[in-house]
Amino acid sequence: MIEQLDKQYVLQTYPRNYVNFKKGENATLFDESNNDYIDFTSGIGVVSVGHGNKRVADKIYEQVSNITHISNLYAIEPQAKLGEKIAKLSNMDVSTFFANSGAEANEGAIKLARKYGETKFENKRYKVITLENSFHGRTITTVRATGQSSMHSDNFAPYPEGFSYHNDIDDIYNAIDDETVAVMIELVQGEGGVQPFDKKEIQELAKFLKQNDILLIIDEVQTGAYRTGEFLATNVYEIQPDIITMAKGLGGGVPIGAVITTHKDLFTVGDHGSTFGGNYLSCAAALEVLDILEEEQKAGNILATTKYFNEKVEEVLANNSDIFTSKVGLGLMLGLRAKDGDILANIIKASFEQGLLILRAGKNTLRMLPALTITNEEIDKGFKRLQDALDSIK
């Protein structure tokens, strides 16, 4: 029934699984026949505080019972408080523009950088350098900023000018010219293969860019909101970027995006906007999500869960060296590199049949991105199911 409805009435842009989930409790989902599934995906890094989180649900109910939306023509208290909270948790002197998604946040970041390049120099600077395995979104501009050439289909051309891609951090230095305004990177490439960069290399790049007045944009759409252990991966890497973007885990499932910057006066009235961005609903939800995650982190729970989950991934690697070659990732953003990427579709299908949701990233990485509140019991169950799935295809 759901398959027929979906196929008839929804544009078919995703390779969908036809399971009808009806309920979620933390990192466990239940379908319409009450079969349970352990969720190692958290909706691709979104449901950071788990499914059906009571505190977030209560906060949303309380907020929408009063006001859901006014417009950005009036001050919005939860938006101002969320901006304050982001500044406090990031430990940076920043202000935020609120959008509705990761791609939108990155669009905002690129616009901000372009204005910097237009207004701060005698010659116009507009070029943005990104990396080949990056992923920055699906709008025309963010698809262009995304380095993966498979994303640049002629079907959607022409694309905006001014983007170039480079293989690794070292190559960025050679690519810079006097029209370069910004470098935009993820600190752990998510979609590209759960690949973290070397901390020293990033710190050196950040220093070089600052000395040369080139903006550093860190795309924390996937890494932000405690995914890598600290509020931002930027905090883990101990750098001070000019612009940081967030989305995914920030709203715990409610759509939100954020363009966070130290250049507080660059955008002026009329430069950027969004009807929905930063409304009462999304900001109240995000405030509660951040309160929960801050408490979890202070109590040491995120660290303990990360340690336990990592140990389990190591075990899978050790027990399945015929399939996997290494463990990759940071915090609760983890992957197992497969010897042969072709096997991943079978692993994901077999896992699903065992009651485990798991992802792939890039060409050959099995990816795990659980809720940061996943319990040890859910972790044990999930890894038992993963091993059963692996055994079933050997």
Ligand X SMILES: Cc1ncc(COP(=O)(O)O)c(C=O)c1O
Residues that bind ligand X (CB under 6 A): 101-103, 106, 135-137, 186, 190-191, 219, 221-222, 247
Q: Which is nearer to ligand X, 63 or 134 (CB)?
A: 134
Q: Which is nearer to ligand X, 101 or 234 (CB)?
A: 101
Q: Which is nearer to ligand X, 247 or 266 (CB)?
A: 247
Contact 357, 369 (CB under 8 A): no
Least distance (Å) between residue 83 CB and ligand X:
20
Query: What is the number of other CB atoms lying within 10 angstroms of the CB of residue 364?
Result: 19
- 43-64 burial, b for 16+ CB within 10 Å, e for fewer? bebbbbbbbebeebeebbeebe
Q: Which is nearer to ligand X, 350 or 361 (CB)?
A: 361
Which residue sits closest to ligand X, CB atoms considered?
Answer: 102
Q: Which amino acid is at 58?
A: D
Least distance (Å) between residue 261 CB and ligand X:
17
The span from the CA of 184 to the CA of 132, in Å, is 11
**Angular region, 79: left φ>0, alpha ψ -120 to 50, beta rest:** alpha
Least distance (Å) between residue 156 CB and ligand X:
16
Six token digits for residue 55: 């505190």
Least distance (Å) between residue 372 CB and ligand X:
16
Q: Which is nearer to ligand X, 332 or 389 (CB)?
A: 332
Least distance (Å) between residue 218 CB and ligand X:
10
Six token digits for residue 112: 């901000």
Apex CA 27: angle with CA 23 and CA 31, to 5°? Answer: 30
